[in-house]
């Protein structure tokens, strides 16, 4: 009997790890265990069913900065396998990816099935044994081998790669029993609920660039914002939720969010712009001349918040109204009361402490032969393909190390 590698978890990281082992060590017996009856679930729903495979190459520094947690760890890992390597891997196997304006990369078919079909087809070609409906309960050391205990009984292996995704604390007790520290998982990448706030009447309105921040905290983010029937969403909100994930969890998702609707302007430049409009269009109704490319409905809403009437002309505004309007434009305050998380966006912050994992091999520093990949690690990225790239990278490195291949 040849060497055996068991991969726990049938998601992106698990599949990539299993395929890598078999590609580089064909004689290895590779078994992939998945607790549900469905493989690659998150890959299927990602990007609205299109699968945001990765993010275009933006350089190592910017790539690392896209991870609220785990960026420093990934800096070294990306030197082994980065986004360009991922694109090449899929391209060589007949799947072409395209880059959208914001840097996200999708299959040219705009279908996640293109990705899942390829991964499953490769698994069949390489004769990887896949066991569905087989939950993993715990892991034990037995001499120089490891034993994965599942619902069907023990599975003995030379190497085990754990890729179980973001898990609840109680589901990580097995890791703690082996001496690993587990950073308590909390949700990341969520939208803000603004119950009963009148801004929700503007659902569907979007602004291309805003700056959002949490009152009393250091975190802020820029990007598009979308007003929804429950509150605020869009890349700026999702990015802010990722970086402030732990702080927002600690306050029970009860917080104040501040919106700068002009993003790159400051109070002085805004005042200059308003003075210019007031001079050049003094008789024109304020509501009919929205500055800063703001949507008409949003502009009228903000004027109401600034207590400027619908029939007021620019020339009728006093200094106090100018000041109030500037305050609303750059420091608009909303009370968030809860969050909403979507299946395709759901990511957890937390997992196996990175100080206990070797970034060159993804091997545990506590248990020889045990490797980790994907979201089970304390790594999470912002929206845009970064979380999948972390899965491909860590899965690839773990698979290479488990197959004793050269990085």
CB-based burial, 186-206: b 16+ in 10 Å, e otherwise:
bbbbbbbbbeebebbebeebe
Task: Set out the domains of the chain in order of their start, with CATH numbers.
Answer: 4-187+347-402 (3.50.50.60), 190-340 (no CATH)
Contact 9, 165 (CB under 8 A): yes
Contact 294, 277 (CB under 8 A): no
| 186: helix, strand or coil | strand
- At 343 the pLDDT is 61
- At 265 the pLDDT is 77
User: What does the pLDDT look like over 6-37, one tens digit per residue?
Assistant: 999 999 999 999 999 999 999 999 999 999 99
User: What does the pLDDT look like over 140-164, one tens digit per residue?
Assistant: 999 999 999 999 999 999 999 999 9
Please state, as a whole number, how many other Cβ atoms lie within 10 Å of the Cβ of residue 275: 13
- At 281 the pLDDT is 86
The sheet that has 153-157: what strands, in order across it?
A: 136-142, 145-150, 153-157
Residue numbers of the chain with a pLDDT score lower than 70: 1, 343-345, 405-407
- At 169 the pLDDT is 79
- At 407 the pLDDT is 44
Largest CA distance in the chain: 88
The secondary structure of 288-340 as a DSSP string is G---TT--HHHHHHHHHHTT--TT-BGGG--HHHHHHHHHHHHSEEEEEE-EE
Tokens of 96: 């072409």
């Amino acid at each position: 009997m040849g060497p055996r590698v068991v991969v726990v978890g049938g998601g992106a990281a698990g599949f990539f790890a299993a395929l890598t082992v078999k590609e580089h060590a064909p004689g290895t017996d590779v078994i992939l265990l998945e607790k549900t009856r469905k493989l690659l679930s998150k890959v299927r729903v990602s990007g609205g069913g299109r699968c945001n495979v990765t993010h275009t190459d933006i350089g190592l520094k910017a790539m690392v900065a896209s991870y609220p947690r785990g960026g420093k760890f990934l800096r070294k890992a990306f030197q082994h396998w980065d986004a360009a390597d991922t694109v090449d891997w899929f391209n060589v196997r007949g799947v072409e990816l395209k880059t959208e304006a914001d840097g996200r990369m999708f299959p040219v078919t705009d279908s996640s099935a293109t990705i899942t079909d390829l991964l499953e087809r490769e698994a069949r070609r390489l004769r990887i044994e896949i066991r569905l409906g087989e939950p993993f309960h715990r892991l034990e050391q037995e001499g120089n081998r490891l034993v994965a205990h599942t619902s069907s009984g023990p599975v003995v292996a030379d190497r085990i790669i754990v890729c179980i995704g973001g898990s609840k604390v109680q589901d990580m007790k097995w890791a703690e029993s082996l001496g690993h520290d587990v950073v308590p998982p909390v949700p990341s990448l969520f939208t803000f609920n603004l119950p009963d706030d009148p801004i929700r009447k503007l659902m569907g309105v979007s602004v291309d660039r805003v700056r959002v921040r949490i009152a009393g905290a250091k975190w802020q983010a820029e990007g598009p914002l979308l007003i929804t029937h429950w509150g605020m969403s869009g890349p700026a909100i999702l990015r802010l939720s990722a970086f402030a994930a732990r702080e927002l969890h600690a306050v029970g998702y009860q917080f104040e969010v501040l919106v700068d609707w002009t993003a790159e302007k400051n109070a002085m430049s805004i005042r200059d712009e308003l003075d210019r409009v007031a001079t050049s269009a003094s008789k024109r109704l304020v509501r009919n001349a929205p500055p800063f490319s703001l949507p008409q409905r949003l502009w009228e809403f903000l004027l109401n918040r600034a207590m400027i009437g619908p029939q007021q002309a620019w020339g009728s505004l006093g200094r106090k109204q100018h000041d109030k309007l500037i305050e609303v434009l750059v420091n608009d305050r909303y009370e968030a009361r809860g969050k909403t998380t979507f299946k395709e966006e759901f990511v957890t912050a937390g997992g196996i402490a990175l100080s206990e994992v070797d970034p060159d091999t993804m091997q545990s520093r506590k248990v020889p032969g045990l490797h980790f990949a994907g979201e089970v690690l304390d790594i999470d990225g912002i929206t845009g393909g970064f979380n999948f790239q972390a899965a491909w990278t860590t899965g690839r490195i773990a698979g290479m190390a488990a197959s004793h291949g050269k990085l």
